A and B are shown apart, each in its own frame.
Chain A
Amino acid sequence: MKKLFVPLLIVVAAMFAFAPIVIANARYESTMGLIQKIFYFHVPSWLAMYSAIGVCGLASLIYLFQGSRTADCYAVAGAELAILFGLMGLVTGPLWARKAWGVWWQWDARLTSALLMWLIFVAYMLVRKYGGPGSEKLAAATAIFGTATGPFVYKSVDIWRTVHPTTNVVPTLPRDMALALLYCMIAFFLLFLVLLTVRVGLAQRQMALDDLYLAGED
């Protein structure tokens, strides 16, 4: 994966650079017009966020029950990426809402639950940073809890009446819109993989450094 890092990074950068052209070729949405094009970055950023919380939750589960330190590296990388991609979703969403709904934010089920899910992963990082010795296990439990909220956040638009578009929008997209979305989803997923690789590498180096300090203390 390390050998693939630079070529993959170039591919991702090229895909992101070309994305506005792909998005411009997709037709406008009839009621929202130009602002709906934020959709092509907003939805993939949440897809990447869900991938990140999936990695973090699974790795935390492995770390909690098997004590695998490699899993812990993946968990911390996943949590950090969940914060990054969640932030992208939380920023692009209000920019879209300002024009589409006339407000930056609406305290409805989807937006509020998504914000809370994001805050759980912020809490994960805070627990790890300031929780003292043994905080990794407490953080892992927090991550599992955060991951469990994922399906509820996703289905919230179908369960409760919200102003947010439902999950039915993506499967019913016309071909040109669906292709643009697919392109952006691939770009975001590749970006997620690239960042996950480097972040796991960093976590492993930090672990090796901790081991060196421990060996020195012994």
Chain B
Amino acid sequence: MIANLAFLIALVLQSPAGQNEFVPASSVPRTDQLQAAPLLIAAYAFVWIAACFYLWTIWRRLRKVEDEMQALERRTGASGSSGASRPAR
């Protein structure tokens, strides 16, 4: 009896099962479209912004490394191999 009750409680508390397949539909209610649109646009915008931002950070880091390399070459060229100290990156 208790085991059956526990089983029933566990069954009720379980989260609903995930979808097994997507069923296509030709149209969607207009109210639904209005609610979903900002979330959809936000998702697409985030992907664009994240990709562009990452590309920009790579470009910035690459430029910093190139500048550092040129400065180091200039320094070692001017004063022989004087032992340049490494800045934190």
Contacts and interface: CB of A to CB of B under 8 A. Distances in A.
A37 B46 contact: no
Main secondary structure of the interface of B (DSSP, over half): helix
Interface in A88-106: 88, 91-92, 95-96, 98-99, 106
B23 to A, nearest CB: 4
B18 A176 contact: no
A161 interface: yes
Nearest to B53: A84
A14 interface: no
Interface in B16-59: 16-29, 32-33, 35-37, 39-40, 42-44, 46-48, 50-51, 54-55, 58
Q: Contact size class for B?
A: 35 or more
A173 B23 CA distance: 8
A87 B86 CA distance: 32
Given A108-B15, A213-B84, A34 B28 contact: yes
Q: Contact size class for A?
A: 35 or more
A198 B24 CA distance: 39
Contacts of B40: 34-35, 37-38, 95
Instruction: Output the residue of A20, A174, A201, A209 with the most chain B CB within 10 A.
Output: A209
Contact of B27 (A28, A98, A198): A28
Interface string B66-89: 101100110010000111101001
Contact of A28 (B18, B28, B76): B28
Contacts of A95: 39-40, 42-43, 46
Going nearest first, the 10 A-B pairs with the smallest beta carbon separation are A30-B25, A33-B28, A35-B36, A27-B24, A34-B36, A216-B84, A172-B21, A92-B43, A165-B19, A30-B23
16 contacts: A28-B27, A29-B24, A84-B51, A96-B39, A96-B43, A99-B36, A162-B15, A162-B18, A163-B17, A163-B18, A165-B19, A173-B22, A174-B22, A205-B65, A215-B81, A216-B76
Given A161-B15, A202-B62, A209-B69, 20 more contacts: A16-B51, A30-B23, A33-B33, A33-B36, A38-B40, A41-B43, A41-B44, A88-B46, A88-B50, A95-B40, A95-B46, A96-B39, A161-B18, A163-B15, A163-B18, A195-B54, A210-B86, A212-B73, A217-B83, A218-B81
